[in-house]
Amino acid sequence: MEKVEKKLREEAKKLLADKKVDVIVGYEAGTLPLTATPVFITTPEEADKLVWNPFCQHNLAKYVHDLISAHKESQKRLKPDDRKRKVVGVVTKGCTSRSLVIHLQERQYERLDISILGVPCTGYADRRKLAAKLGGEDILEGTLEGANLKIKTASGEKTVALKDVLAGNCVTCRFNNPVISDMMLGEPAPAMNPAAEYAEIDEFEKLSPEERWAYFEKEMAKCIRCAACRQACPSCYCKVCFAEQSMPQWVGISEDPSDTQVFQFMRMYHMVGRCVDCGSCVSVCPMGVDLRKFLKKLDKDCFVLFNQRAGEKVDFPAPLQDQRMDDKEEFIYSPGGGH
Amino acid sequence: MSHHDKPAGKKSEGWEPKIVAIVCNWCTYAGADLAGISRIQYPPNVRIIRVPCTGRINPFYVVKALQAGADGVLVSGCHPGECHYISGNLSARRKFATLKSFLNYIGIEDGRTTFTWVSASEGERFAQVIKGVTERVKALGPATKLVKNLRDAAVAVAK
Ligand code: SF4
Ligand code: SF4
Ligand code: SF4
């Protein structure tokens, strides 16, 4: 990990010094112990701020989209000949790379607009799991020592194994190494446990519709509709989200539970073939809504129905951009028989 | 399912389901027309919304219909390979396969949403579909999930 970080800084410096990129989106140490936060580096001198560790949680593809679309918008005022390309370098783990692929599939920008600094990923620490291990005590100091976190709280020193607090999406991650990159900053990381990726979904499917509805209702009742989940999601880049449209007004803003349920249901449904299970939405949710229980189902269906996983292949249309004459259609009703 | 906490006016006794049918102009709507012209009887529970193509249907229409209190939603278009716009129904099929599965997953009863194909020459099939869908929805009783009940809630508070 330190090796990757060292290499990352070196390469970032080179890219910036050679003017190969205009900005690098990466992670720097957060203000609290054992955290990392997104950072935008524009000069070689700043490149030493970059870190790579198990606290690098956010899917940075979000910022890549933001930066490039803002830049393109600003260029509209110029004559076509005077327009310049802005190249965004991005520190890219597996999930981030798949979000970039989705942006490319959806023609949000060109491959030449981005420079992908691939990092092998072994997962990030889930703040909630960590807080639970510490009984909710504040972390006063913390360091990463090999596979363990050494933490100081008001009640003393504690050691927490990193593997015990890895985020759920990391534990079963199938693409922890980037699916595309311009350079790899280290040897590929060992596989996680993708065989179990749908275990939770399979369990949930076994419940009765009433039990599933009760769970959905309960989780959605927690949601305060702050839309942080959407803001954090790299696949939610619409200029005007349906949630804010007023003609037509797709979702009401009343306190009727159905308004929140419908907002969430459609926000999630928009992720068919577009959710890379990066966990960014889950990690930013202030209310701890179990979004993954639902989002992962979409991923499973996409695989079962269309044999595709979100952002897996760059030269291939996204699942809902594509169609086949022989797509499965067991769900189609036939009167007086079948279904 | 229980029928006890149903909003007023939706008592299961004498209750008739409201079903929204969103159909494409070229096949299913013409099929419905044919059923009418041929005087084939089918239950009067459907309200038909005509759209150019199933590919044009925003999945949100289905969810909005449920929220607005439809007891069932039917979407029907041209058979695969017969789309007036070549492949609109194939795009729709992918959208609705995932939509229906996701609705079922959160606990919406399977019979609430129905997707099918009816061609312009299938007046008989149209009637069969409407009959079948109405029976399915009747068996489930009035819809309660995802339904917006503000007015009823306001009445409860006032009491
Ligand atoms: S929905 Fe959540 S997990 Fe999926 S891509 Fe968006 S932020 Fe990541
Ligand atoms: S929820 Fe849907 S409409 Fe809103 S930003 Fe996300 S993808 Fe766009
Ligand atoms: S971040 Fe959480 S509380 Fe906020 S809108 Fe999303 S699910 Fe709801």
Residues A126-151 pLDDT 10s: 999 999 999 999 999 999 999 999 99
Is the pLDDT score of B12 beyond 70?
no
Give residue B72's pLDDT. Answer: 98
B32 lies in a domain? yes
Residue keyed to tokens 């996680």: A192
Res B14: pLDDT = 86
Q: Say if residues B62 and B99 touch (Cβ distance below 8 Å).
A: yes
Question: Among candidates B15, B11, B2, B9, which has minimal Cα distance to B155?
Answer: B9
Ligand 3 centre from A116 Cα, in Å? 30
Residue B8 has pLDDT above 70, yes or no: no
In a domain, B12, yes or no: no
How many angstroms separate the CA atoms of B122 and A19, rounded? 65
E strands, chain A, where? 23-29, 36-41, 88-92, 114-118, 141-145, 148-153, 156-161, 183-184
CB-based contact A293:A237 (threshold 8 Å): no
d(CA A21, CA A88): 6
Please compute the mean of the pLDDT values over residues A68-72 and round it to a whole number: 97
Q: How far is A167 from chain B (nearest CA, A)?
A: 23
Ligand 2, atom 8, residue with closest C-alpha: A238
Average confidence (pLDDT) over A148-156: 95
Q: Is B5 inside any structural domain? A: no
Range of the domain at B140: 19-158
CATH number for the domain that contains residue B49: 3.40.50
Give the angle B126-B132-B137 at the CA atoms, nearest 5°. Answer: 125
Residue B1 has pLDDT above 60, yes or no: no
Say yes or no: ipTM exceeds 0.90.
yes
Give B139's pLDDT tier (boundaries 50, 70, 90). very high
Domain assignment present for residue B111? The answer is yes
Closest-lying ligand to the alpha carbon of A223? 3
Q: What is the mean pLDDT of residues A309-321?
A: 93
Give residue A277's pLDDT: 97
pLDDT computed for residue B155 by the predictor: 66
Q: Does some domain include residue B117? A: yes
pLDDT digits (tens, 9 = 90+) for A253-281: 898 999 999 999 999 999 999 999 999 99
Residue B14 in any domain: the answer is no
CA nearest B71: which of B19, B130, B133, B149? B19
Contact A105, A311 (CB under 8 A): yes
Q: What is the pLDDT of residue B153?
A: 61
Residue B3: predicted pLDDT: 44
CA distance to partner chain B, nearest, from residue A66 (Å)? 26
Q: How confident is the model at residue A187 (pLDDT cuts 50, 70, 90)?
A: very high
Is residue B29 classed as helix, strand or coil in its secondary structure?
helix
pLDDT value for B2: 43
Phi, psi of B20 (to 5 degrees): -95, 125
Q: pLDDT class for A1, splitting at 50, 70, 90?
A: confident
Q: What percent of chain B has pLDDT over 90?
A: 84
Which of A216, A220, A225, A260 should be mutated for ligand 3, with most atoms under 8 A from CB? Answer: A225
Residue nearest to atom 6 of ligand 3 (CA): A229
Write down the mean pLDDT value for chain B: 90
Chain B, window 7-66: residues with a beta carbon less than 8 angstroms from a chain A beta carbon: 59-60, 63-64
The answer to whether B129 contacts A328, with C-beta atoms less than 8 Å apart, is no
Number of A to B CB contacts under 8 A, please give it: 123
Q: Is residue B115 part of a domain?
A: yes
Question: What pLDDT, on the 0 to 100 scale, is given for residue A338?
Answer: 47
Give the pLDDT score at B78: 95
Q: Give the pLDDT confidence score for residue A336 in this predicted structure.
A: 73
Instruction: Please give the pLDDT value at position B6.
Output: 46
* pLDDT for A158 beyond 50: yes
Give the whole-number percent of chain A exceeding pLDDT 90: 95
Q: What is the pTM of this model?
A: 0.93
Summarize pLDDT for A238-249 with one digit per residue, the tens: 999 999 999 889
Identify residue A283 by its one-letter amino acid code: S
Return the pLDDT at B118.
96
Mean pLDDT across chain A, nearest whole number?
Answer: 96
Ligand 3 centroid distance, CA of A282 (Å): 8
Pocket test for ligand 1, best of A57, A58, A59 (most atoms within 8 A of CB): A59
